[in-house]
Structure 1
Amino acid sequence: MHHRTGMAALVAALALTGCSSSQGSSDKSSDNKQSALSDEWIPKLETATTTEDPICNEVGDQACAEHLTGIALLMTDLREAIDEAGGLDAYPRTVREIAKIDEAVEACTEHECLADENAGNAGSPCPDDVYTIRSGGDVLPFALQVDELKGN
């Protein structure tokens, strides 16, 4: 669980540095839409990123590939929900985190990391790609919350 604590500290630090906004929202329907987005997506993100057993200790194994694929697919759905709820203007931190995950997913594909028994070998870029996807998934609930707090 110390991994989540580190991510929470990172998100808090990001919120304190250069993220002030003078834009307040007096539109109650906008506030409700944003609140509902967080309410809906944080549980989905936590479900997608939390596992009972250690996963991706072996970067190229099938269980890791399935776990990462689930996170990547969820990013597509979350991106669509954000677009409907105000897009980049409403969720800048969340959109940036999704972009980092998307880049890592593309790199994983390019490096042929998924279901490759050699993906975890020394010198392979795959462990870094996997870490970016997994840690990004852990950061997203915090990014959503910060975006919603800054937007209200």
Structure 2
Amino acid sequence: MYRALSALATALLLAGAATACTEERPDPKPTKKTAAPKKAQAKKNLADTYTDKLNAVSEGSTAHCASPSSIACSDDIGAIMTVVQDLQKDIDANGGASAYPKSTQQVAKMRAAQQEYEDNNCEGDPSADDPNSDCWGTMAITVGTTTLGMALTTDELS
């Protein structure tokens, strides 16, 4: 009987050891998964991007718009305002008027001048070239590109 108990004890000991080796034990310190920190999205530098575009698209426009009735002036105004429209979308996506107050004001002035040009049917109208006509607002667009570039820089520095 003594042998039976000894054999039983040995069998239980071996069974316990085998079980201990095959059981997966939870880690005493579970690993914590931490989310990778989100990178702060850098604010897009609109002045660098759009000053060059505005300068390129407005080259020669002041001379062309010395005759507001000319097709060249009308084309220049259209090209400039296309860039201004793209800029406005980027301003809206990067903080809007609160982040770009001076630029937003300048864009509004340029849009008002474009609307006036269209409302007065300046393109192709010989009377548009009269110094007393309401078509000379084109200068607010052609010269306004330089003002807009400066406003962008000022807004981004503040």
Both proteins in one fold, TM over 0.5: yes
**Separation of aligned partners in 2, 1:56 and 1:149:** 32
Query: SS in structure 1 opposite 2:125?
Result: coil
Q: Where in structure 1 do 4 or more consecutive aligned residues deviate above 3 Å?
A: none
**1:45/1:122 Cα in 2 relative to 1: closer, same or farther (>3 Å)?**
closer
Question: How is 1:1-152 mapped onto 2 (pairs within 5 angstroms)?
Answer: 29=40, 32-35=42-45, 37-51=46-60, 54-127=63-136, 129-150=137-158
The two structures have a TM-score, normalised by structure 2, of 0.69
**Secondary structure of 1:143's partner?**
helix
> Using CA pairs below 8 Å that are at least 6 residues apart, which structure has the higher relative contact order?
1
After superposing the two structures, state which structure 1 stretch, 140-149 or 47-56, moved more.
47-56
Q: How far does residue 52 in structure 1 lie from its aligned partner after superposition?
A: 8.6
TM-score by structure 1 length?
0.72
- Cα RMSD (Å) of the superposition? 2.0
Contact 2:64–2:70 (CA<8 Å) still a contact in 1? no
User: Counterpart of 1:83 in structure 2: which amino acid?
Assistant: D
Task: Give the conservation status (yes or no) of the 8 Å contact 1:34–1:148.
Answer: no
| CA shift for structure 1 position 29 | 4.3
Question: How many residues are paired up?
Answer: 120
